[in-house]
A and B are shown apart, each in its own frame.
Chain A
Amino acid sequence: MDTIKVVLAGQPNVGKSMLINTMSGSNSLKVGNFSGVTVEKTEVSFHHDSHTLEMVDLPGTYSIGGFTQEEKVAHNYLLNEEYDVIVNVLDSTHLQRNLLLTLELLKLNKKMVLALNMADELKKEGLEIDVKQIEAIVGVPVVLVSANSGEGVEELLHAIHESFDSKRRRSSNIVYSEVFEEEIFELSSFLEAKGFKLRDLSSREIALRILLEDKHLYEEIHTHPIMIELQPRIVAALEHIYTHHETKNMVDIKANEYIAIARGIRMETVKSKKKKELKNRTQKIDAILLNKFIGIPIFLFMMWGLFQLTFEIGSIPMEWIDAAIGAYGDWIGSLIPHDATRSLVVDGIIAGVGAVLLFLPNIIILYIGITLLETTGYMSRVAFLLDGFFHKFGLHGKSFIPLVTGFGCSVPAYMSTRTLKSEKDRLITLFIIGFMSCGAKMPVYVLFVGVFFSPQEAGNILFLIYIAGAFLGLIMAKALRLFVFKGEAEPFVMEMPKYRMPSFSLVWHTVYNKARSYLKKAGTFILAASMLIWFASTYPQQPLFESEFSAKIEAAGDNAVLVKSLENELKLKKLENSYLGQIGKATEPIFEPLGFDWRMTVALETGLAAKEVVVSTLGVLYAIGDEVDEGTVSLQEQLRANISFASAMAFIVFVMIYLPCLAASMVFAKEAGGYKYLAYLFVFTTLTAWILSFITYRVLV
């Protein structure tokens, strides 16, 4: 079967990723309504019409000379990699500015198809596009599609096949300004007369590139004898162009020419049926959400509401899940006769994984909130509102995007810092993403807040924890900017996309993908970690204690109370002398001043692997140390009985600040540019966490 390698290129936020999702019928690519959702090239393949289509999704790029890191990914790919067809995706409701990139892409001389996306919005806005006319002008197939409704998608796939099969591209009929056309004509007639050929370029194309000062072309022809005669003609032609454009800056001249062409194409092909409203919907919404006075309060209120909901609604199914897991554990336990195996399954796996599953509802609500922020177009608005404020703290408004992503998971958050141009802005943002508590920390908070606060307060406390983390991050950013990463910040120029109501299916798939990976992690990584923790907390066996205690228990005889307390004592002794107990005991002195017992200490240490493991460790440790014969006592009750309020708060503060999980740390090292930075991050976060926890504990105790 033939493989067609198709690369999607276009300006940011035109629907490239969504178009691949629609074409392939899968929903694997991330879609969001702001510039810079895709930051890395991603491939999706599927079968169509007896071919394998390999689709490469690139980050959006405003122009071929774009400057952010993720834009460079796009040019490097377009210029240097092997592929068959470019699908240039355009937002058909913003044709003119999207065409600017198209004009540059045409210069690559590759097989290309134009996909005019957002056909559904085009219709709603009362616009009509003459597709055939555009096709005639640019010389490549043009298809009107909608990634949202699916119209035109089959046609687009068909056009891709056709373009792949075709021998060469038709020539385009793009007309430059009069001066340019005159000079192109002069030069190309001269080239023709001399019979000069270069690659498969037409004389017109060579002349055009000479006039636009194409570096690559000059490199190719500068040693050619024709240069002697060509040079004076070029100089004269350029002089002529300079006088007309009133500037000698070629970049400006090119910009003016391109904009004139793009405008020309739009005027010729786009017709408006509706009379333009004075203000459209987006502007009306902006008048409220970007209001000078209420803009930021509205944002804070929405965040507050989100955490309120996370706790309120999340705690309803939580009770059912808790009961179900408990019952399931009891049932499975009754089926396994072998003591050690039963303990492994019930106290290890079910307690550990169960503790993580319990918080799935909270996590889902948080994910829904983040998804709405990402898909409605509000994200860029908040960046706009906060830029001034952020700027004072040495951050960039755009830093808001990675920071908010960090509330979900730090891994994509670290990657999305690539949209920041300035290296220093990027590093500062990388360093403080950890202060935005990720979704995996949520279980720790919900657990402790649920235990130590009334349900009425819980939502507020949760909000407070997140806000406190964010503020701490800002202060740290300021400190980093003042003492470490000094220097100028990047200008803030950011597109504010149209508000879009995300479809139910878009929200569903986005949340589903995230929830699935949370569950997958619970089923694999957390499962393995829980088993490991169980082993490390059960072994080595202590025959010495056991015989000592069994003698004591026998001596106690009928005294039931004494027997029970002895049995409990034995359990505790065994746990404390297990591998994990020994580690915990050895490191306990470090955390003693913060009011943590060895169990909490161990939970923090295992939490370095993944933050969910903090709760599962506590789950396992308290399940093993569980008092005999009393049935399952919930982890919540165990915590209430064993941990003081001050230690609990200090623990929350520590979890809030210390090093992100292993996976995130690796991505951090990669994005920051070395393990050196990870070492800095470790020292930076651990010290801060320790000091602030210490203060919290001392104030409250």
Chain B
Amino acid sequence: MKLSELNKGDHAIITNIGNDEALKGRLFSFGITKGAAISIEACSLGRQTVEILADDTLIGLRMSEAQKIEVEMQIDEKMLEEKK
């Protein structure tokens, strides 16, 4: 699954960042690599950009970048409990 397919409120784990070295380097300096846990905080109108939360850092990403990132969706138990 791609990061770009997630919706606001979803939680996921990054499984692959692809091979765009510039993007990889930048995400690394935010402390994000394979295995990092992220959540989606906001999407802009028309899904142009997404805001993700990773390791306490909020990052804005364009969808075309988000498409390069592979993730695995997590079912957040706390969130489920809250809903109940």
Residues in A lying within 8 Å of B, measured CB to CB: 11, 62-63, 65-67, 93-94, 96-97, 100-101, 251-252, 255-256, 259, 262, 278, 282-283, 286-287, 290-293, 295-296, 380, 383-385, 387-389, 391, 397, 421, 491-498
Contacts and interface: CB of A to CB of B under 8 A. Distances in A.
B58 A495 contact: yes
Contacts of B58: 282-283, 286, 495-498
A388 B45 contact: yes
Interface in B1-53: 20-31, 33, 41-46, 48-49, 51, 53
16 contacts: A94-B56, A96-B55, A97-B30, A100-B31, A256-B33, A290-B44, A292-B43, A384-B51, A387-B49, A491-B26, A492-B62, A493-B23, A493-B62, A493-B65, A495-B57, A495-B60
Given A63-B25, A491-B20, A496 B59 contact: yes
Contacts of A384: 44, 49, 51, 60
B29 to A, nearest CB: 4
Given A251-B21, A495-B57, A387 B62 contact: yes
A293 B26 CA distance: 29
B57 A380 contact: no
A494 B44 CA distance: 14
Name the residue in B21, B29, B30, B59 with the highest tally of chain A Cβ atoms < 10 Å from its Cβ: B29
Contacts of A63: 25, 28-29
A696 B69 CA distance: 49
Q: List 8 A-B pairs, minimum CB-CB distance, nearest first.
A: A388-B48, A62-B29, A97-B31, A492-B62, A496-B58, A290-B42, A384-B60, A63-B29
* Size class of the B contact interface (CB-based, 8 Å): 35 or more
B45 A62 contact: no
Given A62-B29, A63-B29, A286-B51, A97 B57 contact: yes
B78 interface: yes
A98 to B, nearest CB: 9
A253 to B, nearest CB: 11
Interface of B: 20-31, 33, 41-46, 48-49, 51, 53, 55-62, 64-65, 78, 82
A93 B45 contact: no
A301 to B, nearest CB: 16
Nearest to B30: A97
Contact of B60 (A256, A296, A492): A492
Contacts of A292: 42-45
Contacts of B55: 94, 96-97
B51 A496 contact: yes
Contacts of A282: 58
B77 to A, nearest CB: 13
Contacts of A62: 26, 29-30
Contact of B46 (A101, A388, A421): A388
A290 B30 contact: no
A255 B60 CA distance: 21
Contact of A11 (B29, B51, B60, B78): B29
Contacts of A252: 24, 33
A259 B65 contact: no
Given A101-B29, A290-B44, A492-B49, 17 more contacts: A63-B25, A65-B25, A66-B29, A97-B55, A252-B33, A255-B33, A278-B78, A287-B41, A291-B42, A385-B44, A387-B44, A388-B46, A388-B62, A491-B22, A493-B62, A496-B58, A496-B60
Contact of A283 (B21, B48, B53, B78): B53
B60 A397 contact: yes
A300 B45 CA distance: 15
Contacts of A290: 41-42, 44, 51
A255 B28 contact: yes
A495 B30 contact: yes
Contacts of B48: 387-389, 391
Contacts of B49: 384-385, 387-388, 397, 492
A100 B29 contact: yes
> Which label, helix, strand, loop or mixed, suits the secondary structure of the A interface?
helix
A97 B26 CA distance: 11
Nearest to A288: B42
Contacts of B23: 491, 493
Nearest to A64: B29
B42 A97 contact: no
Given A282-B58, A286-B58, A293 B45 contact: yes
A491 B62 contact: yes
Contacts of B42: 286-287, 290-292
A498 B48 CA distance: 22
A94 B46 CA distance: 31
Contacts of A287: 41-42
Contacts of A67: 22, 25
A99 to B, nearest CB: 9
Name the residue in B22, B43, B45, B53 with the highest tally of chain A Cβ atoms < 10 Å from its Cβ: B45
A311 B49 CA distance: 35
Nearest to B17: A252
A343 B72 CA distance: 78
Given A67-B22, A67-B25, A292-B44, A495 B59 contact: yes
B3 to A, nearest CB: 12
A15 to B, nearest CB: 16
Contacts of A262: 31
A62 B29 CA distance: 6
Contact of A494 (B25, B29, B59, B64): B59
Contacts of B45: 292-293, 295-296, 388
Nearest to A283: B41
Contacts of B26: 62, 491, 493
Name the residue in B23, B55, B65 with the highest tally of chain A Cβ atoms < 10 Å from its Cβ: B55
Contact of A295 (B28, B30, B44, B56): B44
Contacts of A278: 78, 82
A493 B59 contact: yes
A100 B59 contact: no
Contacts of A251: 21, 24-25
Contacts of B60: 380, 383-384, 387, 397, 492-496
Nearest to A258: B28
Contacts of A491: 20, 22-23, 26, 62, 64-65
Name the residue in B23, B43, B57 with the highest tally of chain A Cβ atoms < 10 Å from its Cβ: B57
Contacts of A256: 33
A516 to B, nearest CB: 34
Nearest to A99: B31
Nearest to B56: A94
